[in-house]
Chains A and B, each alone.
Chain A
Amino acid sequence: MKCVRCKKQAEVELKSHNAAFCRDCFLYFFENQVLKAIKSFRMFTKKDKILVAVSGGKDSLTLWNVLLDLGYNADGLFVHLGIEGFSDIAKGKVERFAKERNAKLIVVNLKDEGIPIPEVKKKTRRVVCSLCGQIKRYYFNMVGLKEGYDVLATGHNLDDEVSRLFSNVLHWKMEYLVDQSPVLPSEEGLLKKVKPLCRVTEYETSVYAFFKGLDFVDIECPYSKGATFTMYKKHLNQIEFSSPGTKIDFYQGFLKNLKPILEKREEKIKNRCKICGYPTFSDVCSVCRLKGYT
């Protein structure tokens, strides 16, 4: 198979783009897809101070790497979850990356905050993955605002977005569908949030990480076993294989056709947490409740 740009031996085949690429041309393609997302959704400019939420996984390290390579002003934020045999390894990978790239890294340790995930798991009957996500989003937002960042960038890729959309449509979770977007604008108390990898698939991100030699966490979080989205991703991959391009069509069709209708009926959060000021539907936000405030 030959590269469609330069005719050298291809290393990557992308059926959804009807293309195959050699290493150099793939990296050019990948950076262009990220730039296209940043520009078409007006995510940020070179003047903005960007905070990248990094977990140590391939997606977040890929995002941080590509933003630095493209010349953006991007720092990292790592939330240490306090999960034995996982969080320290992830922290080590992120710290090494930051050191190699001479980039600024902020670390929040949930043990210091009184809510390490293993303790949270003991305290609640809720699915710990959703609470963990809620806690991380809380600190991404709080740290970003406190440290004067313009925008928070996360490593969600096209497969993440499509599986989430698929799940929200299957269960008609209207409140989540309203919030599903590559860009969530800033509001009072909420930092602008963006997903610059929303045009690239999990496979493309993995290829980029491989070509760039990124050293990322390759072990599964012990609490994430059997996550529903992974099952949806497998089903969606079968559809994509039979009909290449379905994933991006599904996602872009949603953004173009359904999202504008949903936005009209959106209910804005009006309350602020009386403890920390974080936007919430009740008097005290869920993170402050976990910390014992009522």
Chain B
Amino acid sequence: MTVDKREIYSFDTPISVGKILKRLNFLPFEVLVIKGNRLLTRDVVLRDNEEIEIKTVYSKG
């Protein structure tokens, strides 16, 4: 999984997207959680070796 400046984190599964955001100190509307070409909501549970990308949404001016 990639977080903003291309940092990679691993978590034990199964784990929900909401729990991952909480552990990384993100509020749900501060980031897009992307899997392939879809966005994931907080309740989605990741299993096995699933990978997601997290992108912050702040304007970069």
Is A103 an interface position by the 8 A CB rule?
no
CA distance A57 to B44 in the complex (A): 29
Q: Report the interface size for chain B: residues with CB under 8 A from the other chain.
A: 19
A143 to B38, CA, bound (A): 40
Q: Compute how far the CA of A181 lies from the CA of B3 in the bound complex, rounded to whole angstroms.
A: 35
* Contact for A238 among B27, B38, B39, B55, CB less than 8 A: B27
B38 in contact with A11 (CB, 8 Å): yes
- A-B pairs with beta carbons under 8 A, tally: 61
* Chain A residues positioned under 8 Å from B24 (CB to CB): none
Contact indicator per residue, chain A 214-251, by CB within 8 Å of chain B (1) or not (0): 00011111001001001001000110110000000000
Please give the distance in Å from A255's CB to the nearest CB on chain B.
22
B10 within 8 A of A: no
A202 touches B61 (CB 8 A): no
Structural contact, A57 and B60, CB atoms closer than 8 A? yes
Indicate if the CB atoms of A224 and B61 lie closer than 8 Å.
Answer: yes
Knowing A207-B32, A237-B27, A241-B27, the reply to whether A11 touches B60 (Cβ < 8 A) is no
Are B60 and A217 neighbours in the complex by a CB distance under 8 Å?
A: yes
Q: Is the CB of B32 within 8 A of A206?
A: yes
Asked if A58 is at the interface of the complex by the 8 Å CB criterion, the answer is: yes
**Nearest Cβ in chain B — how far from A72, in angstroms?**
23
Tell me the minimal C-beta distance from A90 to chain B in angstroms: 11
Q: Are A58 and B41 in contact (CB under 8 A)?
A: no
Knowing A206-B32, A207-B32, A237-B29 touch, does A11 contact B57 (C-beta < 8 A)?
Answer: no
Q: Which residue of B lies closest to A26 (CB)?
A: B39
Which A residues are within 8 Å of any B CB, using their own CB? 1, 10-13, 15, 20, 57-59, 129, 160, 201-203, 205-207, 210, 217-221, 224, 227, 230, 233, 237-238, 240-241
Show 29 residue pairs from A and B whose CB-CB distance is below 8 angstroms, ordered by the A residue.
A1-B43, A10-B41, A11-B38, A11-B39, A11-B40, A11-B41, A13-B41, A13-B42, A15-B28, A57-B60, A57-B61, A58-B59, A160-B59, A202-B59, A203-B57, A205-B57, A206-B32, A206-B57, A207-B32, A210-B34, A210-B39, A220-B60, A221-B60, A221-B61, A224-B60, A230-B58, A238-B27, A240-B27, A241-B28
Chain B residues close to A by CB (< 8 Å): 27-30, 32, 34, 38-44, 55, 57-61
